[in-house]
Amino acid sequence: MARFLKKRDQETGRSPGSLIFVGQQKTDTPRLRLIDYDQEMLKDDFIDSLDTLSACTDSQSTSWLNIDGLHVPDLMSQVGNLFDLSSLILEDIVNTGQRPKLEEFPDALFVTLKMLSLDEELGRINAEQLSAVLTGNCLITFQEKPGDVFDPVRERLRRQSGRLRRLGADYLLYTLLDCVFENYLKVVEILGERIEEFDEEVLGNPTPDLLEEINLYRREMAYIRKAVRPAREIILKLAKTENEIITPQIAPFIRDLHDMAEQVVDAVDIYREMLNDHLNSYNMAVTNRLNDVMKFLTVFATIFIPLSFLAGVYGMNFEIMPELHYRNGYFILLGIMGTVAAVMLAYFKKRKWI
Amino acid sequence: MARFLKKRDQETGRSPGSLIFVGQQKTDTPRLRLIDYDQEMLKDDFIDSLDTLSACTDSQSTSWLNIDGLHVPDLMSQVGNLFDLSSLILEDIVNTGQRPKLEEFPDALFVTLKMLSLDEELGRINAEQLSAVLTGNCLITFQEKPGDVFDPVRERLRRQSGRLRRLGADYLLYTLLDCVFENYLKVVEILGERIEEFDEEVLGNPTPDLLEEINLYRREMAYIRKAVRPAREIILKLAKTENEIITPQIAPFIRDLHDMAEQVVDAVDIYREMLNDHLNSYNMAVTNRLNDVMKFLTVFATIFIPLSFLAGVYGMNFEIMPELHYRNGYFILLGIMGTVAAVMLAYFKKRKWI
Amino acid sequence: MARFLKKRDQETGRSPGSLIFVGQQKTDTPRLRLIDYDQEMLKDDFIDSLDTLSACTDSQSTSWLNIDGLHVPDLMSQVGNLFDLSSLILEDIVNTGQRPKLEEFPDALFVTLKMLSLDEELGRINAEQLSAVLTGNCLITFQEKPGDVFDPVRERLRRQSGRLRRLGADYLLYTLLDCVFENYLKVVEILGERIEEFDEEVLGNPTPDLLEEINLYRREMAYIRKAVRPAREIILKLAKTENEIITPQIAPFIRDLHDMAEQVVDAVDIYREMLNDHLNSYNMAVTNRLNDVMKFLTVFATIFIPLSFLAGVYGMNFEIMPELHYRNGYFILLGIMGTVAAVMLAYFKKRKWI
Amino acid sequence: MARFLKKRDQETGRSPGSLIFVGQQKTDTPRLRLIDYDQEMLKDDFIDSLDTLSACTDSQSTSWLNIDGLHVPDLMSQVGNLFDLSSLILEDIVNTGQRPKLEEFPDALFVTLKMLSLDEELGRINAEQLSAVLTGNCLITFQEKPGDVFDPVRERLRRQSGRLRRLGADYLLYTLLDCVFENYLKVVEILGERIEEFDEEVLGNPTPDLLEEINLYRREMAYIRKAVRPAREIILKLAKTENEIITPQIAPFIRDLHDMAEQVVDAVDIYREMLNDHLNSYNMAVTNRLNDVMKFLTVFATIFIPLSFLAGVYGMNFEIMPELHYRNGYFILLGIMGTVAAVMLAYFKKRKWI
Amino acid sequence: MARFLKKRDQETGRSPGSLIFVGQQKTDTPRLRLIDYDQEMLKDDFIDSLDTLSACTDSQSTSWLNIDGLHVPDLMSQVGNLFDLSSLILEDIVNTGQRPKLEEFPDALFVTLKMLSLDEELGRINAEQLSAVLTGNCLITFQEKPGDVFDPVRERLRRQSGRLRRLGADYLLYTLLDCVFENYLKVVEILGERIEEFDEEVLGNPTPDLLEEINLYRREMAYIRKAVRPAREIILKLAKTENEIITPQIAPFIRDLHDMAEQVVDAVDIYREMLNDHLNSYNMAVTNRLNDVMKFLTVFATIFIPLSFLAGVYGMNFEIMPELHYRNGYFILLGIMGTVAAVMLAYFKKRKWI
């Protein structure tokens, strides 16, 4: 299946805003988890229906609703109604092939980007789409399946003294984005460490397996880049936003995030270049190795050519061939042959051909 | 025939605005279809003459006039007169080699771009020029031949409840552009799925057919890119327009379209890069394969060289060659030959040459 | 002679504004042609001296003075005085190695760019410099030699009803620029049609002649690009000018010209890329072809190696070699040889080496 | 260990602003050195605790506190409290994998960048992170370990008459940055001198050692580039700052610094290109050298082929072979062989194959 | 010695503004030449001390002080004091590795750039640094050694009627810059003419000498580019300056200069690309040539292989080999050998292998 462009439904021209899930279904039943907190209290529940949520937007506490599983249209449209999300946003959420982007509305902010994880066995990067809607003191996040990189955030939420409990939903959004970017760095770093090792292997031991690995890493780097570059644009846009939903005290954190985004993109670019260099070095190493073999064999063969010729000459059946009747003819010839071989060897040595 | 630059009429310097059709005639008689609708009613007719149209601009309903076939100058100038189109626009419409572009006028908007379709048999992309003029509550579209990707739109028009019936001609234009871009995505995706498969074939089974296929896809990707990049510019321009003909409620849809345009261009670029990688990998695979053959054959030949030399030596006719008279001379020599071959084989094995 | 940078006079440091002709003299005597027209009348004369021109700037009619041949300093300075052109402009006009550019003055506009023509025999592009000064209702054009692409314009001037007769000198300038760009498109298209054909030839029949042709086209495309890219900048500048000498009614035409300029530059870039691809494909095709030959020959030689060895063995002169005395020894050996050859052939076939 | 992306702590999602040292610990105990000066006096002490510092911000003199060693969280947070640094800045200081950047605050300026040094033995560039906080008349600098390029600055501080003593902490910051950039230039220059030498070696004596050296230099240049490009951005930002902490009299010095930054980046880019050229030349030289060997050997072998064939013919045992019984048959044949060899040699010479 | 980055003094961290000469000393004693002129008079003297200069800034005439030789710190600081130049400017003047740049001051303008000259014997470009300070009606120029491209300017100064005598020191500066850029064009053109010739040589006669020449030209083009690109930026900055020291009447001349700068940079880029193409073509030509040789030799060898095998067969010593006793066995075999050779030759001819 194409990884770089997700399959859309084949029927072009459907009404924009139709909630048809695009992607692989990765979980059975959607799971909803509501964390409601302010500096005083923290409630953390898995909820079954959205009915209990109605109070959420009214209260003064900050609410974080996380939904794992996007393939149930009913649920999605319910969420849409509850939080007054436009149909276009809902469509972007359920289409897991969506390009990372940020959209601003007068009283809401919509972000969608990819979370990357490394399947260590296959050495492949998996991407899961994370969408987040920030509206008032509510943050709603959408993931394709349970399991994410946000456990440390939940841990920190439990600590009453932390900044996270003090500041609002915009800081929570920042914290989640920070996690996502930290994770980008981690994934790139794990690949990068291996990539930097290639340097020596490529010159010392260029096996076809190594070549395949290099190509794999190049593909994965291209895949990461596809997720990371638009994510950087998002942060840039976020840093420039004048939307009041982002309070001024968040600004320095966003700037920090932007540095991290630059760093990820820089690193990806450097590693891509490095992999291209490795590919070239690999080619060169393989060619040189083959050339050495061919040169050796050719030199070896060349030494025997005049010797075989001499043997051929004295294998001729002419009636009159005086050398054949010399007493030591045979031994003299063997001596000549040895001398020719030695001279040739010396010459090749001198020319550094062997 | 050149696909990447359409043949103009040879006579340079003709008056700008002359309505001479440039391109291949793809249909016999132009076909006109007028869909007239508002929230209450829908009329959908194939019409023969433009006379019935005069009422169109006056009524409050939204009208969509679609014209298939651009090669009849009379018809085109009639349309031009009726809707008050400048001669330059008409010229752009009939020149099917026109670069995709958007032009704004105080009370009208002119868009021309390419619809792509995949000729599955030839594996070639075909491009058909779509031009659209949006003026008041009328949308006039021009296509080179009958058949398009807009059937779902017509279907949705028939449903009274849809947003399409509620909103005006600008939303209709958006819907058509949306179809065109969805179709870009679909075409790129179909090619992309095949391209991603190349990865393994190229290393496992690099046949000349595969090479040809890779080159075909590269050409087609270049062709798509030529259509898609200026189309993205159009959407960008449309998103920034301050023309009142585009009502503010359309803005979020245009933004959505812009994301899609970015995604298409991104995907095309990624696949182009991938194809270049495939080409390199193909070359490498072919070279490696050949090198393996040559190495094997050379090693094989090399083993026989000293053996043949020995045979040559004992084929000489010297009178005095003691070994020839040894009782087991022949068998000893055969043994020596076998030993030499075995030693060489072992040496080559150790050096990993075979 | 260097085509890509024209020879300047060797004496660096001459006074700026000296009227020394730079380039190859392409005509004997300069030829002056004055077309004077308004909606009512049209006068078209070859004139000998500039004296008759003095009335030109005063009258209400539009005047087009065309000068073929730039190498007579006296004439040039006369023209300069008559139309009040600065010495820098005159210098640019006579220096045929001038980079295409547009210069604006309060009451005048100066444009210089290249007209391209295809020498079909040599397959080479020739460039001729066209300079134009637009001042009031006068347009003065300068060409290196008689013969240009403007005959259709003159033809249209003769038709009283045309737009050309109605609008002023700025529209005339636009018309000429339009001709020049149409001609760019035509030249690129002629080359492009041939370039697109290379696709198949390169894989099917990669002869050295084809290689030379590809290289020729690459050089010519670079040459065209050198003329076309700054020409596009000119049009862009023209589209943005606020100079009153360009009347507002010309604006849409200039915009159209800009599209054409973009199209030419796009096409040149695409064809350059295509030629690079062809070059790579050519190399690959040649290499593959050679490799096939070498592989065939090597396989052929390899089959004879063990056979010759066997013949060598039984050509030895050992006293005791039992096989030599077998009744059917010779025929058995021939059989063995045939078997060895057949087995090897089968093995090579199986491995797809032949 | 990955050099191009420093290892972060594995636990994603930690609270931003946690002071966990990221990097290799390069010193045992942090060392604090306080230089306090104005035009009249200079105090230079290694201090043990930060308590003596409290007076620093109040006095009129300029203070420079340098801290070597970043791995003691307590010390860092003490410094943070004392100078009122935000936790984000402290985090950037202790994370030695930080991307070079400049951050402005109403009353402070934060800069972090890399100091490069050349490990002459390994031929590797080492990077040490330098962070500096400029706040009022205090400059606090943070380094990973003792030893830096600032000794000449300290020397100049001792001279009472110098500009350094006259101007404030912003000039001191400039002086330090100047040292860092001078040092960039020096490092690039040392590598560059060697790189320019490659030109001849690569064509004259392309050994594998040279190849490894070229690759080493490419890697190091990439490493330098990673430090230097964002450093240039810092200077650009500094030149544009409107922060009052940078007094106007520093502006021309910053501009000078910017020129130097441009020069470093230019030089790095030129040397990178040069190294790529060397790599290509190396490949070409190696290939040509091998090809010459192979051609020589092939020509050598080819000359013996017809001679061996002739010997083979006259080694046949046909009953009737008249030449065998010619008196001088053997000698005639030897003559023919010599002639054939001579003719072939002459032909190959003429074709310039040997 | 490194050409692309000049050696700085090793002591990093010296006070900015120290007047230590950086570069190769190219002359013995500095030479000062003062040209003082207005429309009426012209004085041109070599002067020994700077004392006579004091009157210069006061008088109404325009003064041009040229200093050849930058290595005497005393002289430089004297000049600095006399004309009130900041120490940073003086430092830039004596550092001949300075990047070309323009600096503006309220009442002065500082320009430094490279003059290029072609050492025709070595085929190498030499760069000499030219610095100029324009202050009031004085222009002071600094060169590394006597001898420059300004003799025509001095010549024109002698002519009373010229524009140069009429306009002020800013026009003089323009004239000198014009000379420098004319000279760039000339140098590029001389190299360019040779480069365009490579086209045919590379395909027709690819000798190692040609390769070395191509590489030499690439290096020189990189060297020119390093001088020319920042010089273009200078002119651009100069065209945009609002400094009153540049009088408005100079503006069109600066614009002209800018065109020339663009042209130089364009030409350098085109020639660089061309040289890269030549390098590729060279490689291809060499490879093709070698391949032809190898193919010929392999085909030649292949023809003898079956013939030698046949000779080997009939050299065997089996007791019973009927053919050996045929009357015409030998001649029949010779005939068969000839036939085999002819058939093979015909086959190879048909396949176009020879």
Q: How distant, in Å, are the alpha carbons of A288, D209, D293, D298, E105 from that of A295?
A: 10, 20, 8, 11, 67
Above 80 in pLDDT, residue D20?
no
- Nearest-Cα residue of chain A relative to residue B294: A294
A 10 A CB-CB count for A271 gives 26
Residues in chain C with CB shorter than 8 Å from the CB of E253 are 16, 88
Per-residue pLDDT, D314: 94
In sequence order, what are the residues at sequence separation of 6 or more whose Cβ sits closer than 8 angstroms to the Cβ of residue D178? Answer: D253, D257, D260, E13, E16
Residue A303 has pLDDT above 90, yes or no: yes
Spatial CA neighbour of B210 closest among B285, B272, B273: B285
At a CB cut-off of 8 Å and minimum separation 6, what does C261 contact?
C181, C228, C231, C232, C235, C236
Q: Which of A262-266, E7-11, E143-147, E149-153 has the lowest mean pLDDT?
A: E7-11
Which has more confidence, B98 or A114? A114
- The token duo for E6 is 């000049």
The Cβ-side half-sphere exposure at E74, using a 13 Å CA radius, reads 4
Residue B133 reports pLDDT greater than 80: yes
- Distance, in Å, from the CA atom of A310 to the CA atom of B276, rounded to the nearest integer, reads 54
Whether residue B86 has pLDDT greater than 90: no
Which helix (H) or strand (E) covers residue C251, if one does? Answer: helix C251-313
The gap between the terminal CA atoms of chain B, to the nearest Å, is 51
Question: If you average pLDDT over residues E267-273, what whole number do you get?
Answer: 91
What CA–CA distance (Å, rounded) separates A61 from C254? 60
Ranges A342-346, B36-40, C246-250, E69-73, most confident: A342-346
> What does the pLDDT look like over B210-221, one tens digit per residue?
988 998 899 899
**Is C10 a residue whose pLDDT tops 60?**
no
Distance of CA A112 to the CA centre of its chain: 18
How sure is the predictor about C9, in pLDDT bands with cuts at 50, 70 and 90? low
- Chain C contact probe: residue of E156, E199, E318 with most C CBs at under 10 A: E318
Contacts of A284 in chain D (CB under 8 A): 211, 283
Phi, psi of B22 (to 5 degrees): -115, 120
Which of B175, B179, B186 minimizes the C-alpha distance to B267?
B186
Tokens representing E335?
């005939």
- Return the pLDDT at D340: 96
Helix (H, G, I), strand (E, B) or coil at D161: coil
B323 φ/ψ sector (left φ>0, alpha ψ -120 to 50, else beta) = alpha
Distance from the first to the final alpha carbon of chain D:
51
CA angle at E8 for the pair E6 and E9, rounded to the nearest 5°:
150
Per-residue model confidence (pLDDT) at position C345: 95
Interval D225-245: pLDDT, tens: 989 999 999 999 998 888 888
Question: To the nearest whole angstrom, how far is the Cα of A50 from the nearest Cα of chain D?
Answer: 28
Average pLDDT, chain A: 87
Two tokens, residue B95: 């020149």
> What pLDDT was estimated at residue E280?
87
What average pLDDT does this structure show over C206-234?
90
Q: What whole-number percentage of chain D has pLDDT above 90?
A: 37
Helical pair E87-94 and D251-313, crossing angle rounded to 10 deg: 20
Interface mutation target, options A1, A3, A4, chain B, most CBs of B under 10 Å: A4
> Which of C138, C33, C155 lies closest to B15, judged by CA?
C155
pLDDT tens profile A79-137: 888 888 888 889 889 888 888 999 888 888 999 999 998 887 777 888 999 999 998 88
Q: Do A277 and D301 touch (CB under 8 A)?
A: no
Position D174 scores a pLDDT of: 94
Under DSSP, the state recorded for B50 is: G
Q: Is the pLDDT reported for residue D72 higher than 80?
A: yes
- pTM for the model stands at 0.82
Candidates C354, C150, C333, C123; CA nearest to C224 is: C123
Residue B258 corresponds to which tokens in the numbers above? 């812009």
Task: Read off the tokens for E157.
Answer: 């100064």
Q: What is the rounded average pLDDT for all residues in chain E?
A: 87
Q: Determine, for residues B266 and A301 on separate chains, whether the beta-carbon distance falls below 8 Å.
A: no
pLDDT of D14 > 80? The answer is: no
pLDDT at D49 over 90: no
pLDDT value, residue B346 = 95
Rounded to a whole number, what is the distance in Å from the CA of C52 to chain B's nearest CA?
Answer: 29
| Under 8 Å between Cβ of C91 and C112 | no
Contact state of A5 with B267 under an 8 Å Cβ cutoff: yes
What is the spatial distance between Cα D144 and Cα D263, in angstroms, rounded to a whole number?
Answer: 27
Closest CA of chain E from C279, distance in Å: 10
pLDDT value at position B156?
87
Say how far apart CA A97 and CA A330 lie, in whole Å.
Answer: 83
Taking one residue from B and the other from C, the number of pairs with CB-CB distance under 8 angstroms is: 144
Q: What is the mean pLDDT of residues A211-227?
A: 90
- Does the pLDDT value for residue E85 go beyond 90? no
* pLDDT higher than 80, residue D7: no
- The larger pLDDT score, comparing residue E7 to residue D335, is at D335
Q: Find the residue in E nearest to C225 (Cα).
A: E270
Give residues with Cβ within 8 angstroms of C7, minimum separation 6. Answer: C1, C22, C97, E189
**First-residue to last-residue Cα distance in chain C:** 51
Residue B106 pLDDT level (bands cut at 50, 70, 90): confident
What tokens were used for D156? Answer: 């100049």
Check whether A12 has a pLDDT greater than 60: no
Q: In the structure, what pLDDT confidence band is assigned to residue B129 with cuts at 50, 70 and 90?
A: very high
Decide which of B13 and C217 is more confident. C217
Nearest to E125 by CA among E67, E186, E68: E186
Is a pLDDT exceeding 60 seen at residue C209?
yes
A101–chain B nearest CA distance, Å: 8
In the chain, the amino acid numbered B225 is R
Higher pLDDT, D147 or D344: D344
What distances in angstroms separate CA E97 from CA D265, E5, E91, E114, E238, one per listed residue?
15, 7, 11, 10, 22
Q: Which residue of A has its CA nearest to B150?
A: A13
Those chains having 3 or more beta-carbon pairs within 8 angstroms of chain D are A, E
What tokens were used for E18?
């120290």
Kindly tell me if the per-residue pLDDT of A235 is higher than 80.
yes
- The band of B110, judged by pLDDT with boundaries at 50, 70 and 90, is very high
Contact state of B315 with A315 under an 8 Å Cβ cutoff: yes
Q: Where do you find CATH 1.20.58.340 in chain E? A: 292-350
Interchain proximity C295–B293, CB inside 8 Å: yes
Q: Which residues contact D290 (CB under 8 A, 6 or more apart)?
A: A291, A295
Which pLDDT value is given to residue A18? 65
Estimate to the nearest angstrom the gap between the alpha carbon of A7 and the chain centroid.
Answer: 20
- Per CB-CB distance under 8 Å, the chain B contacts of C203 are 212, 215
Assign D273 to helix, strand or coil: helix
pLDDT digits (tens, 9 = 90+) for E217-235: 998 999 999 899 999 999 9
Query: Quick one: closest CA in B to A314, which residue?
Result: B316
CATH topology of domain C15-285: Beta Polymerase; domain 2 (3.30.460)
- ipTM score: 0.76
Among all residues of chain C, which has the CA nearest to that of B104?
C252
B327-341 confidence digits (pLDDT tens)? 899 999 999 999 999
Chain B residues within 8 A of C262 when measuring between CB atoms: 99, 230
**pLDDT, tens only, B311-330:** 999 999 999 999 999 989 99
CB pairs under 8 A between C and E: 143
Mean pLDDT of B112-133: 88
Judged on CB neighbours under 10 Å (0-12, 13-18, 19+), E120 is exposed
Nearest chain A residue to B300 by CA distance is A297
CB count, 10 Å around CB of E64? 25
Q: Which of E302, E321, B41 is nearest to C332 (CA)?
A: E321
Cα gap C149→B11, rounded to integer Å: 10
Q: What is the model's pLDDT at position C55?
A: 59
Q: Which of C337, E339, E311 is nearest to D318 (CA)?
A: E311
Residue in C149, C189, C277 closest to B7 by CB: C189
Q: Does the distance separating the beta carbons of A266 and D14 come in below 8 Å?
A: no
How many Cα neighbours within 13 Å face the side chain of A257? 28
Q: Is the pLDDT of residue D119 over 90?
A: no
Which residues have C-beta within 8 Å of that of residue D52, sequence separation ≥ 6? D34
At B325 the pLDDT is: 92
d(CA E127, CA E137): 28
pLDDT above 90: residue E133: yes
At C12 the pLDDT is 52
State the architecture of C292-350 in CATH terms: Up-down Bundle (1.20)
The 3-class secondary structure across chain E, one letter per residue, is CCCCCCCCCCCCCCCCCCCCCECCCCCCCCEEEEEEECCCCEEEEEECCHHHHHHCCCCCCEEEEEEECCCCHHHHHHHHHHHCCCHHHHHHHHECCCCCEEEEECCEEEEEEEEEEEECCCCEEEEEEEEEEEECCEEEEEECCCCCCCHHHHHHHHCCCCHHHHCCHHHHHHHHHHHHHHHHHHHHHHHHHHHHHHHHHHHHCCCHHHHHHHHHHHHHHHHHHHHHHHHHHHHHHHHHCCCCCCCHHHHHHHHHHHHHHHHHHHHHHHHHHHHHHHHHHHHHHHHHHHHHHHHHHHHHHHHHHHHHHHHHHCCCCCCCCHHHHCCCHHHHHHHHHHHHHHHHHHHHHHCCCC
Q: Say whether pLDDT at D56 is over 70.
A: no
Q: Residue D306 and residue E304: Cβ atoms within 8 Å?
A: yes
D54 pLDDT band, cuts 50/70/90, is low
Query: In this structure, are residues D294 and E287 in contact, taking their beta carbons and an 8 Å threshold?
Result: no
Asked if the Cβ–Cβ distance from E13 to D150 is below 8 Å, we say: yes
Please state the rounded mean pLDDT for residues C214-233. 91
- Residue type, position A33, single letter: R
Categorize the per-residue pLDDT at E121 as very low, low, confident or very high, splitting at 50, 70 and 90: confident
The neighbours of chain B, by the rule of 3 or more Cβ pairs under 8 Å, are: A, C
- Asked if C276 contacts B271 with a C-beta cutoff of 8 angstroms, the reply is no
Q: Give span(s): CATH 3.30.460.20, chain B.
A: 15-285
Contacts 24+ apart (CB under 8 A), A305-309: A305/D300, A305/D301, A305/D304, A305/D308, A306/A340, A306/A344, A306/D304, A307/A337, A307/A340, A307/A341, A307/B309, A308/B305, A308/B308, A308/B309, A308/B312, A308/D308, A309/D304, A309/D307, A309/D308, A309/D311
pLDDT of residue E146: 87
Q: Pick from E309, E254, E292, E14: which is nearest to E134 by CA?
A: E254
Determine the Cα–Cα distance for residues D232 and D254; give it in Å rounded to an integer: 11
pLDDT band at D318 (very low <50, low <70, confident <90, very high): very high
